[in-house]
Structure 1
Amino acid sequence: MPAYDDSPLTTSTIQDPFSLYSQHIAGAAIFDLNGLPKEYFTTLENGNMGWVQTIFQALGLRLLLTSSLQLEGFHHAVIHGEGYNALVVKQNSFYLALLVQQTYPSIITDSFIEWLQGFEPDLLKSHPRFRSI
């Protein structure tokens, strides 16, 4: 697994990481703990929601593996695509999935995942870059 550079977080943007990260987020989806999609967000740059189906399938696979193999401790998953990566994190009462533009160095760092695990999705509703569908 490649090493990720956390250097963007050492700048003054650490006080508002959403300002740093939001420019790389092309879409978001919220799933309940059963893996069913509840809410979607797109940007003007990318209205494609096909990636949500991939996340839905990945969450279904996770639920199957958890029940049949008694696996616990799912925290996040990254699905690599062409030009974008999809990232899913588990929060207390839902899963949050983001479609993130591929960047170099990658924005998907341990710090980003930790921040996302505590991210409040309601911020997407009020952010001018995102629209709910």
Structure 2
Amino acid sequence: MAESWATSEGTRKSMLANKRRDTSTELAVRRELHSRGLRYRVDFAPVPGIRRRADITFTRARVAVFIDGCFWHGCPLHGTSPRQNADYWGPKLAANIERDRDTDRHLEDAGWRVMRFWEHQAPRETADQIEAAVRG
């Protein structure tokens, strides 16, 4: 196996199956927002020249929404530290968290409101907060 991150074929298949966009939580939030009459961009880079894409973007309201996976972004409730190949995953996950903070700073400096939610949060409650920000 060429990939240094995969400790087994099962791990490799599991990790390759992870989606970058259109996760079940993201789709549920988008359905809820759409049912409320809100229209948005999906997987959109709000600031030209910065290679960071928001999951849901309201361009007129300048609201960028990220729905972060508990494992990948270090959820304090559900984030876990892999036991196998920890020398690879520890720095990788820490870099994800730092990149999230850097993204927030770049977008806020450009006049965007950044909203972050965890994948385990209820889609309806997430949509309530997003709607309030977009309409308010």
Which is richer in strand? Answer: 1
Q: Which of the pair has the greater relative contact order for Cα pairs under 8 Å at 6+ separation?
A: 1
Larger Rg: 2
Which is richer in helix? Answer: 2
Report if TM-score (shorter chain) is over 0.5: no
Normalised TM-score (structure 2): 0.28
